[in-house]
């Protein structure tokens, strides 16, 4: 989870000039706007650097909660990271063009060497080989990038990329900037939602409850 403190200078001062019910409705309106802004803001920030789709990133944002005062936002992320397939993995190729050298003499080197599975984690680094990996279909029909265990040759394990939570929280070069950008977006949308309720009340409609 990530906790972000909102910088809402001036909002608390308005409480002295508003009746408690209107102020509470305005805070709820701000929270509603700010909550909806989090998934697209996180997605946009991550997609600039990481090779993931917007829908896959949003899928791992499991919840956005605010304190009743609207001063702190808590963003929850799913624990399971995206598979390497979701980082654009492409299958490798087998070596071809090996000719027999005669009885008991083995095979010649391939005229066309094989290529390993490749995937793109960071856009800036481009597509990279994944040693010892191959692509297969899992029991549930999903395509996975697998690798054979070195300690247990009969055991296969799936290869995953960085999780959305780790990218956002700490384990990436963009974490600090990403958190700053998302917090600025939350602040902006909270104030917009807060002001929307006040404007509606000023027109005589009483705002949304």
Q: Which range of residues forms the domain containing residue 6? A: 2-81+163-202
Q: What's the total number of domains in the chain? A: 2
Tell me whether residue 94 is in a domain: yes
pLDDT at 206: 47
| Per-residue three-class SS string for the chain | CEEEECCCCCHHHHCCCCCHHHHHHHHHHHHHHHHHHHHHHHHHHHHCCECCCHHHHHHCEEEEEECCCCCEEEEEECCCCCEHHHHCCECCECCECCCECCCCCCECCCCECCECEEECCEHHHCCEEECCEEEEECCCCCEEEEEECCCCCCCEEECECCCHHHHHHCCCCCHHHHHHHHHHHHHHHHHHHHHHHHHHHHCCCCCCC
Q: Are residues 63 and 97 in the same domain?
A: no
Q: Are residues 75 and 171 in the same domain?
A: yes
Q: Are residues 64 and 123 in the same domain?
A: no
Instruction: Quote the pTM value.
Output: 0.77
Q: Are residues 75 and 168 in the same domain?
A: yes
Q: What percent of the chain has pLDDT over 90?
A: 39
pLDDT at 10: 59
For residue 209, pLDDT beyond 60: no
Q: Are residues 103 and 193 in the same domain?
A: no
Q: Are residues 49 and 143 in the same domain?
A: no
pLDDT at 161: 95
pLDDT at 208: 46
Higher pLDDT among residues 96 and 146, named by residue:
146
Q: Are residues 73 and 173 in the same domain?
A: yes
């Amino acid at each position: 989870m990530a906790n972000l403190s909102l910088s809402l200078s001036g909002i608390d001062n308005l409480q002295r000039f508003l009746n408690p019910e209107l102020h509470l409705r305005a805070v709820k309106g701000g929270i509603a706007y700010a909550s909806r802004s989090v998934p697209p803001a996180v997605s946009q920030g991550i997609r600039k650097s990481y090779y993931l789709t917007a829908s896959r990133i949003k899928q791992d944002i499991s919840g956005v909660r605010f304190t009743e005062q609207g001063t702190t936002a808590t963003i929850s992320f799913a624990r399971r990271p995206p598979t390497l397939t979701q980082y654009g993995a492409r299958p490798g190729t087998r070596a071809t063009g090996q000719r027999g050298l005669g009885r008991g003499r083995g095979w010649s080197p391939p005229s066309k060497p094989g290529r390993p599975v490749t995937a793109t984690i960071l856009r800036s680094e481009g597509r990279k080989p994944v040693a010892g990996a191959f692509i297969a279909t899992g029991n549930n029909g999903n395509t996975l990038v697998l690798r054979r265990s070195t300690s247990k040759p009969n055991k296969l394990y799936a290869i995953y990329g960085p999780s959305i939570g780790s990218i956002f929280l700490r384990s990436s070069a963009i974490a600090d900037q990403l958190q700053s950008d998302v917090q600025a977006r939350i602040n902006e949308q909270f104030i917009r939602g807060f002001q929307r309720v006040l404007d509606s009340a000023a027109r005589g409609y009483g705002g949304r409850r």
